[in-house]
Amino acid sequence: MKKAITFTLNNEVIETEVDPKWTLLYLLREVLEMTGTKEGCGYGECGACTVIINGQAVDSCLYPVMEAEGRKITTIEGIMLKSGELDPIQQALVQNGAVQCGFCTPGMVMSAKALLDEKERPTEDDIKDSIAGNLCRCTGYVNIVDAIKSVAGGR
Amino acid sequence: MRSYEYYKPQTMQEAVGLMDRLEDAKFIAGGTDVMVLLRQKKLALKNLISLRNIGDLVYIDKKDGLKIGSATTHTEIVKDEFIKRFYSALNDATTHLGSRQIRNVATVGGNICNAAPSADTACPLLVLDAKVIIVGQKGEREVDIDDFFLGPNKIALERGEIVKGFHMPQFGDNTGSAYIKHTRRQAMDLPMIGIGARITIKIGKSEVRCRDALCTIDTISNVLARLQDEELEIEDARIAMGVVAPRPIRAKQAEAALKGKVVSEKLFREIGEIAATEAQPRDSIRGEAWYRKEMVKVLVRRALMRSIDRVIRPDDTIYPERLW
């Protein structure tokens, strides 16, 4: 039985019909066709599916779609600046060579964004803690941490 | 995945009523355990009842002790400075649980009700003498947390009951607590061993605070050696151990051996040996039994040292991390 839900996705009000057994990730990727958010493990271990819900980074693969009702959700598609430019975090990742295969990148960006929205000047430990739930198997984490640090230091 | 209905009650009574009415139903809070089980097909059911939208289950109340609602997320506990200062073991446990993404949704009630032997918040609640507040059709009842765990994934909850929260007594400046999670990785790992400790020392004429600058930067071993003449007497102590038995347990013989004694590193070393005799770990992919048993000795001593450190040096205290 499909149920109607309403929520805010990237500052746009979305009304859609969902099956209660879906996860938020399934709705995003398979139904709304917003494939920027990735599915890695599906068990909340890798963080590739990270989205921001009401200001907090959350694994969308473990998030029941019914809980999206009335909440404010931001995905990687929603963080581009109004001018069409990349978000400073994305720019910094490019400049620091922090992207190789790119599969973990959307999740990394969302985790970093949640941190930088919450804390003006995060410490290196804060940064490491914020992406502890995002696995990257290509670059190692040094360049990614450097990139996030450069955004935090540059503003 | 099998299809199920998803209910979002707004009050405790509504949730309890739904569970009573619906067949083949389960409560879900943060979902970080339930959603994984569903996906692994280890759990099949017709109805999920969400506890996430019940406002009455989310609270941190600091009057007369500490009261925490069961649907309070780990992130909210981590952020709380009062808990960090007076219920430090709980801060230790929630800070290192899962990832940020997990802590943002996972609830303390869910962690306890899932009742894994490795549940991180179990040891802190055991050493902090928490009472579990349970709500059902017939009203409210209270269970000591030590009587709440029955076995792996088994808890003293009747069908149709939910945990409302955890209430802990008030602790003063003479109490310190700690939780140490022994893992192979620094993040995103379940404990190979988890040890919680709490020490309450007798308030006598002895001065237990740091008096010189050296004390603030020295190791706790040296600080304790210097404070030896003060004879800090232990009024009350708790030790809890995770992953050494089918459920999180208290090391009651070790606790009894601490009572009334004078604090010293040598004593803590002996207590570690006693606690190890109470531990019955088994071999698993995370660690072998003999190693776990050896680590109980080490970690019990460290957890006790950290607890007493937090009594003696509460301010610069807790963090930054010192070498214990």
B243 sits in the region (left: phi over 0; alpha: psi -120 to 50; else beta) called left
DSSP state letter for A77: G
CA–CA separation, B128 and B240 (whole Å): 10
If you average pLDDT over residues B207-232, what whole number do you get? 77
**What's the token pair of residue B241?**
């151990």
Domain with CATH 3.30.465.10 in chain B: 56-168
Report the alpha-carbon distance of residue B76 to residue B173 in Å, rounded.
23
Q: Which of residues 301-320 of B touch A (CB under 8 A)?
A: none
Regarding the domain delimited by B56-168, which CATH topology (the fold level of the hierarchy) does it fall under? 3.30.465
CB contact under 8 A, B31 and A63: yes
Does the domain formed by B175-312 have CATH 1.10.3720.10? no
Residue of A nearest to B52 (CA): A67
Residue A94, min C-alpha distance to chain B (Å):
24
Region A3-78: CATH code:
3.10.20.30
Predicted confidence pLDDT, tens digits, chain A (155 residues): 799 999 999 999 999 999 999 999 999 999 999 999 999 999 999 999 999 999 999 999 999 999 999 999 999 999 988 898 999 999 999 999 999 999 999 999 999 999 999 998 999 999 999 999 999 999 789 999 999 999 988 76
Q: DSSP readout, A11-71?
A: TEEEEEEE-TT-BHHHIIIIIS--TTS--SSSSSSS-TTEEEETTEEEEGGGSBGGGGTT-
A42: left (phi over 0), alpha (psi -120 to 50) or beta: left
What phi, psi does A76 have (nearest 5°)? Answer: -60, -30
Query: Which A positions 90-119 lie with beta carbon below 8 A of chain B?
Result: 111, 114-115
Confidence (pLDDT) at B322? 45
Calpha distance A109→A144 (Å, rounded): 10
Instruction: Note whether B100 contacts A129, CB cutoff 8 Å.
Output: yes
pLDDT score recorded for residue B320: 46
Cα–Cα distance for residue pair A29/B230, rounded to 1 Å = 65
CB B166 within 8 A of CB B135: no
A127 within 8 A of A113, measured Cβ to Cβ: no
Segment B282-309 shows an average pLDDT of: 95
| Contact call for residues A29 and A35 (beta carbons, < 8 A) | yes
Nearest chain A residue (CA) to B5:
A20
Burial of residue B125 (number of CB atoms within 10 Å: 0-12, 13-18, 19+): buried
Q: What is the CATH number of domain A88-154?
A: 1.10.150.120
Q: Does B188 touch chain A (CB under 8 A)?
A: yes
- The token pair that represents B11 in the structure block: 């009050």
* Core vs surface per residue B239-277: b (16+ CB within 10 A) or e: bbbbbbbebbbbbeebbebbeeeebbbebbebbbebbbe
- Tell me whether residues B31 and A62 touch, CB distance under 8 A: yes
The full DSSP string for B241-283 is: EESSSSS-EE-HHHHHHHTTPBP-HHHHHHHHHHHHHH-----
- The two three-digit tokens of residue A124, written as one number: 């290196």
ipTM, interface predicted TM-score of the complex = 0.96
Contact B254, B282 (CB under 8 A): no
Among candidates A20, A50, A56 on the partner chain, residue whose Cβ is nearest the Cβ of B4: A20
Q: State the fold for domain B5-50.
A: 3.30.43
pLDDT digits over B228-245, tens only?
877 889 999 999 999 999
How many beta-carbon contacts under 8 Å exist across A and B? Answer: 84
Distance (Å, whole) CA A35 – CA A28: 7
Please compute, for residue B290, the number of CA atoms within 13 A of its CA located in the half-sphere on the CB side: 0
CATH 3.30.390.50 residue ranges in chain B?
175-312
* CA-based nearest residue to B193, from B183, B204, B179: B183
Portions of chain B given CATH number 3.30.43.10: 5-50
pLDDT digits (tens, 9 = 90+) for B57-105: 999 999 999 999 999 999 999 999 999 999 999 999 999 999 999 999 9
pLDDT category of residue B187 using cuts at 50, 70 and 90: confident
The domain locations on chain A are 3-78, 88-154
**Helix, strand, or coil here: B307?**
helix
Question: Cα–Cα distance between B94 and B106 in angstroms, integer?
Answer: 10
- Which chain B residue has its CA at the smallest distance from A54's CA? B104
Q: Which residue of B has its CA nearest to A112?
A: B100
